[in-house]
Amino acid sequence: MPGFTTVADGRFLGRQHIRLLRIYLAATTFLYTYGVVFTLFPVRTDLEYGNPVGGMIAIALGVAALIALAVRPGRAGFATGAAVLATPIVLAYHVTLTAQYVCLIAPMFLAMYLRAFHPPRRAWVLITLLTAACVAAVAVSPAPHVTVITYLIVIVAIFGAAESFGFLMRAMFTAACTDPLTGVSNRAGWEIDTAELVARFRSAPVPVTVIALDIDGLKNLNDTYGHQAGDRRIAEYARAWARATPRDAVVARLGGDEFGICVVHPQAVVVQRLLDEIRTQTPGVSIGTATGSSVTADIAALYAEADAELYRSRGIPLRDELGPR
């Protein structure tokens, strides 16, 4: 079990939601710019054009959000807030219901994104705020013939898009990142979850400990009692580790009998307590650890270091530690 090398950088996988947010902001900002330009310089005179102020504000928010993501790609709070505010501001200045309904496409896509890439509670808070802002914008807009049906259409369109397509996207994403036997993260989930976990602590140094785990004797167990017995051992141990880990931690199955735990905590005693529980509750496990700072932590490098220590604890140094022959 030499230290694994990821197929794709964990930071890349962990920030796909940032990439999608950037695409959404770029697309909507372009469309708002298009609308403002053709409002200020109309090609046709037989159409009723709205006030471009809303579009200008939305463009400013979009540009500011894109700049923020370029400067600090790991911090999406401001960009997400800008995306939530931009479309309602545009809606507030529309003068026709047709324009309102066309503009509704943007918050529908945004709601799908929020539902898919944010934890459920946070997602629904943001989606509710987005919907309320859109309803309020339609209420104060100069568009005529706004009725209760109009508000219902706005609410159903945004919430419906979030719950149908957004939930499906999140379910597929979760399934792709979860080990079906144990219920903990798989290797893809490890890369994503550890990248997001460490990103929350980049501003101040906090110890990051990676624990490499290998269940010993699994082959003999399989050969003696069958693979179902080995699967039960793997699942039982994984559940025990998941229960024992503190809040800011990730547990993942990285291979057949190979697991990793990443803990970010300021107190070393928390990690030591976890290691003690692993040894007492799940005997017959080889363990290796490595610790770094959250400011500079490279999870793949820490895992490789922990994996090397695991092998040294068995008296079997890794090949690259033996030096040239």
Q: What is the pLDDT of residue 51?
A: 85
Q: CA 308 to CA 215: how far, in whole Å?
A: 15
- Alpha-carbon distance 297 to 199, whole Å? 10
Question: Is the model's pLDDT at 105 over the cut of 60?
Answer: yes
> What pLDDT shows up at residue 318?
61
pLDDT category, 1, cuts 50, 70, 90?
very low
The DSSP 8-state label assigned to residue 201 in this structure reads T
Backbone angles phi, psi at 185, to 5 degrees: -65, 150
| Sign, Cα dihedral of 286, 292, 293, 296 | negative
What is the pLDDT at residue 211?
A: 97
In order, the DSSP letters of 246-292 are -SSEEEEE-SSSEEEEEEE-S-HHHHHHHHHHHHHHS-SEEEEEEEE
Percentage, residues of the chain above pLDDT 70? 91
What was the pLDDT predicted at 320?
56
pLDDT in tens, 34-45: 999 988 888 777
Nearest C-alpha neighbor of 176 from the set 192, 188, 163: 188
93: pLDDT confidence band, cut at 50, 70 and 90?
very high
Q: What is the pLDDT of residue 13?
A: 41
pLDDT band at 173 (very low <50, low <70, confident <90, very high): confident
Is the pLDDT at 27 greater than 90? The verdict is: yes
Residue 120: pLDDT band (50, 70, 90) is confident
135 pLDDT higher than 90: yes
Q: What is the mean pLDDT of residues 218-238?
A: 93
Range list for CATH 3.30.70.270 in the chain: 187-321
Going along the chain, which residue ranges are E strands?
Answer: 207-215, 249-253, 258-264, 285-293
Mean pLDDT of 143-171: 90
The DSSP symbol for 211 reads E
> Would you say 103 and 90 are in contact if contact means Cβ atoms under 8 Å apart?
yes
- Assign 307 a pLDDT band (cuts: 50, 70, 90): very high
Contact (Cβ atoms closer than 8 angstroms) between residue 34 and residue 59: no
Helices (H), the chain: 10-14, 16-40, 53-71, 77-91, 97-103, 105-117, 120-140, 148-161, 167-176, 187-199, 218-225, 227-244, 268-281, 299-313
3 burial via Cβ count (<10 Å: 0-12, 13-18, 19+): buried
pLDDT of residue 101: 93
Going from the C-alpha of 149 to that of each of 135, 152, 295, the distances in angstroms are 11, 5, 52
Mean pLDDT, residues 225-254 taken together: 94
Question: What Å distances lie between residue 16 and 28, 169, 251, 291, CA to CA?
Answer: 18, 13, 21, 27
Confidence category of residue 118, pLDDT binned at 50, 70, 90:
confident
Question: 36-73 pLDDT, tens per residue?
Answer: 998 888 877 766 677 899 999 999 999 999 999 999 87
Which of the four pLDDT bands, split at 50, 70 and 90, describes residue 175? confident
Fold held by 187-321: Alpha-Beta Plaits (3.30.70)
* Residue 319 confidence (pLDDT): 60
Contact in structure between 140 and 95 (CB atoms under 8 Å): no
Q: Please report which helix (H) or strand (E) contains residue 65, including its range.
A: helix 53-71
- Is the pLDDT score of 116 beyond 60? yes
User: Which residues lie below 8 Å from residue 63, measured CB to CB, with a gap of 6+?
Assistant: 29
Assign 8 to helix, strand or coil: coil
pLDDT of residue 3: 36
